[in-house]
Amino acid sequence: MAEYTLLIILFAPFVGALALIFVSNRQLSLVRGIAAGSAFISLIASVYLFYAYDPLKGGYQFIQRIEWSRQLGISLHLGVDGIGTPLVLASGILLFAGIFVSWHIKDRVKEFYIWILILAAATIGVFMSLDLFFLYFFYEMSVIPMYLLLGMWGSHTKKYLEMTDAEGLKQRDSVGFIFNFGANSKEYAAMKLVLFLSAFAVAALMGILLIYKFSGLNTFDILVLREQAHFSGPLATLIWLLIFFGFASIAPIWPLHSWSPVGHAAAPAATSMLHAGVLMKLGHFSIIRVAFEILPETTRELMPIAAVLCIFSIIYGGLVAYYAKDTKYVIGYSSSSHMGYVFLGMAALDYISLSGAVIYMFAHAMATGMLFAMAGWVYDQTHTRDIPSLGGLSNRMPFISAAFVIGCMASIGMPGTVNFIAEVMIIVGSWNKYPFQVVVAVLGIVLTMAYLFKMMRGLFYGSMAEKYSHSHDAVTVVDRMPLLIMITVSISFGIFPGHLYSVVRSGVDPLIARITKVVPVAEHPMNRPHATSPIVPTSASREALAKVTPR
């Protein structure tokens, strides 16, 4: 049974989606049941995966290999390492939470759940693909549902609605449309997202095909390519750049980010959660999986590019978020700012920092998931995302406002949340190589707090407009559960990150060892006998301090 874990995680949502096709939209509870059920199966399996993954053994585990095209060297080769495992778990959690966050959707529920399930399954697929072809396949597959989810169930921005009253369409077609920041229709957002990501995906595809072509191994299998393919010179550089920028666009790295906040803003809550929570991590993950694994030397040479760009990501994204007046824009830009930390962690090519980056991906999934879920809730209740027109909601929704605080805290990396662990690791790991970036990053933390608190104040404190007096809190289990799940995960991993850390570390160690050719010094944490039992008074000597002082 255990060896099929990956297949269960991957195909449970697909199967669910398939099943939903045959269910009528009128059977609402059945639709929801199927969606939730399949997501639940996937979640349980991914939790199992996470804890069953053996960090001591390390490497790729739960490997499944199904030949698909021997001639082309394509096979459905699935397996997870320490990097993929937590991301699979994050996807599972967010999918499950997302199903419940969108519980109250009225319009074409069935289709919505179908696409959400496909989106999540495709994302999960990327995290477990060991075959370049399928990695790319799932990658593209995850983009398409976004188009539909945005276009069908998304929402226009307030500014856009103001612009499109009488002669709206005309304005949209006019040249004014070019400067449409903050005034987007959902269709625009969807189109932009898909075109943009597809365009860059083609670049990534080029890179993949170049690898395929010039490795001369006639295989897309990453494990094979990793061991046997050798690239050097301009070709390696070209491939690396294609791979890096192709995938970094979804991460999104500055300046390839502009699709993302628009997409977030237009998307329904569950989509935003999945989008910011896991979809964006496809970029980092794919870079790690493809560029780091197959082109280690080139990675060592070229990764400083990311170190430069990440500064812009962090500060630029933070500042736009600070300015934004739309809740989802704030969270969206904050996400793209935070992805800069991941790039920083990756760029330093250090055991600790890369582990930090991976944990950060996981942590950010929870934090941003919470924030988007709550922004969605507020939107559902008030039908606006415009911060200045909101306010004073804490009296109406105490639970949401309390959870929002925790979301903010998680997002800025407050100790006690898993984000903190990640931040510390990124700082510790990157300092030697990129002290300046670290300083920028920590300033970014302060900036994050500034805009998130600004938003919190705008939504929940101050005076409340009369028209929102009918908005209500999340009271039912269904409404509260997604938030509670994400909060619990974030905090429990924040306090007990041990297993998460070892899992991640087991994935990162061989990778960095290959790239930097430095053997990790840490003998494995689990092997080390610990110094002291839980409650042992340290030395009672009068000179305890002096004793540990070097002579």
Partner 1 sequence: MLEEFSFGFPILSYLIFLPLAGAAVLWLIEDEDLLKTTTLGITLVELALACLVLVRFVPDSAAMQFAEHARWMPALGIGYHLAVDGISVLFVGLTAFLTVLVVIYSWDTVRNQVRLYFMALLALETTTMGIFASIDLILFFVFWELMLIPSYFLIKLWGGGAERHYAALKYVLYTLLGSVFMLVGIALLDINYHQWAVTHHLDHVYSFDLLELLSVPIPLSQQILIFWLMFMGFAFKAPVFPFHTWLPDALVEGPIGMAVMLAGMKLGTYGFLRFTFPLLPDASKSEGVVSIVMVLALAAILYGAVVALVQSDFKRLLAFSSISHLGFVVVGLFALNFQGLQGSLLTMINLGFSTAGLFFMAGFLSTRQQSSQLSFFGGFAKQVPLLASFLLLIGMASIGLPGTNGFVGEFLILLGAFKAKWWYGAVAVTGVIFGAAYFLWYYERAMLGPLSTNISTTIKDLHMREITIALSLSVMILWIGLYPSPFLRMMNGSIQALVDRLDRAKVASVDTVIHVPAK
Partner 2 sequence: MSDSIDLIVKLIPLFPLMAVIVNGLFGHRYSHDLAHRFAWGSVLMSFLCVLAVFTETLRTGAAREVVAYKWIFGGDLTINLAYLIDPLTCIMLLVITGVGFLIHVYSVGYMHGESGFTRFFVYMNLFMVSMLLLVMGNNYVVLFIGWEGVGLCSYLLIGYYYDKVSAAKAATKAFVVNRIGDAGFLLAIFLVFVNFRTLDYTQVMQNAAQLSPEMATAIALCLLVGAVGKSAQLPLYTWLPDAMEGPTPVSALIHAATMVTAGVYMIVRNHAIFDLSPTAMTTVAWIGGLTALFAATIGLVQTDIKRVLAYSTVSQLGYMFLGCGLGAYTAAVFHLMTHAFFKALLFLSAGSVIHALSGEQDIRKMGALKSKIPWTHTLFLIGTIAIAGIPPLAGFWSKDEIMGHAFVHHHYVLYGMAAVGAFLTSFYMFRLTYLTFYGTSRLDHHTAEHIHESPMVMIGPLVVLATLSVIGGFPGVPPENGWFHHFLHSVAGVAGEEHATAPALMLGLMGTATVIALLGWGLAHYFYSGPSSAADALAARMPGVYTTLLNKYFVDELYDRLFVEPTKQIGRFCDWFDRTIIDGLVRSIDRGTDASSAAITWTEKHVVYAGLNIIGYANHLLARSWRRLQTGMVHQYAAIIVAGLFILAHLILLIWTGNGSNGYISR
The answer to the question of residue 470 lying near partner 1 (CB under 8 A) is no
Longest Cα–Cα distance of the chain, Å, equals 84
State the nearest-atom distance from the C-beta of 419 to partner 1, in Å.
12
Sort 178 into a burial class: Cβ within 10 Å, 0-12 / 13-18 / 19+.
exposed
Q: What letter represents residue 210's amino acid?
A: L
**CB under 5 to 8 A by kind: which of partner 1, partner 2, none does 431 bind?**
partner 1
536 binds partner 1 (CB under 8 A): yes
- Site residues for partner 1, 347-386, by CB under 8 A, read 352
Question: Measured between alpha carbons, how far apart are the two ends of the chain, in Å?
Answer: 59
Near partner 1 by CB under 8 A, which window of 3-11, 70-78, 225-233, 532-540?
Answer: 532-540
Determine if 450 is a binding residue for partner 1 (CB under 8 A).
Answer: yes
In the numeric block, which tokens belong to residue 399? 């639970």
Q: Where are the beta strands (DSSP E) in 260-397?
A: none
What, of partner 2, partner 1, none, does residue 532 touch, CB below 5 to 8 Å by kind? partner 1
Residues that bind partner 2 (CB under 8 A): 69, 71-73, 108, 111, 115, 140, 144, 147-148, 151-152, 175, 177-182, 191-192, 194-196, 198, 202, 205-206, 209, 212-213, 218, 255, 258, 316, 319-320, 322-324, 447, 450
Q: What is the size of the binding site for partner 1 (CB under 8 A)? A: 59
- Which residue number, 327 or 417, has a Cβ lying nearer to partner 1? 417
Q: How far is the CB of 73 from partner 2 (least distance, A)?
A: 8
Q: How far apart are CA 324 and CA 33, in angstroms?
A: 37
DSSP 18-63: HHHHTS-TT-HHHHHHHHHHHHHHHHHHHHHHHHHS-TTT-S-EEE
CB of residue 477 to partner 2, shortest distance in Å = 31
As a whole number of angstroms, the distance between CA 532 and CA 443 comes to: 37
Is 424 near partner 1 (CB under 8 A)?
A: yes
165 is in the binding site of which of partner 1, partner 2, none (Cβ under 5 to 8 A by kind)? none
Using CA atoms, how far apart are residues 24 and 12, in angstroms rounded to an integer? 20
Determine the Cα angle at 370 with ends 105 and 43, to 5°: 75
Could you tell me the CA-to-CA distances from 116 to 20, 24, 268, 291 in Å, in that order? Answer: 12, 17, 11, 29
Contact 506, 354 (CB under 8 A): no
> 322 or 501, CB closer to partner 2?
322
Residues 31-60 binding partner 1 (CB under 8 A) are none
Q: Does 431 bind partner 1 (CB under 8 A)?
A: yes
Shortest reach from residue 101's CB to partner 2, in Å: 21
Q: How far is the CB of 484 from partner 1 (least distance, A)?
A: 15
Which string of x and - marks every residue 481-520 that binds partner 1 (by CB under 8 A)?
----------------xx--xx--x---------------
Residue 60: CB atoms within 10 A of its CB come to 18
The Cα 540–Cα 2 span in angstroms is: 51
181 binds, among partner 1, partner 2, none (CB under 5 to 8 A by kind): partner 2
3-state secondary structure of 472: coil
In 3D, which of 412, 245, 264 has the Cα closest to residue 341? 412
Cα 200 to Cα 119, 194, 247: the distances in Å are: 19, 10, 7
Answer for which of 312, 461, 484, 513 binds partner 1 (CB under 8 A) is: 461
3-state secondary structure of 77: strand
| 397 lies in the binding site for partner 1 (CB under 8 A) | no
The nearest distance, CB 192 to partner 2, in angstroms, is 7
Is position 208 an interface residue for partner 1 (rule: CB under 8 A)? no
- Centroid of chain to Cα 54: 23
**Could you list the residues that contact partner 1 (CB under 8 A)?**
352, 405, 409, 412, 414-416, 420-421, 423-425, 427-428, 431-432, 438-439, 442-443, 445-446, 449-450, 453-454, 457, 461, 497-498, 501-502, 505, 521-522, 525, 528, 530-551
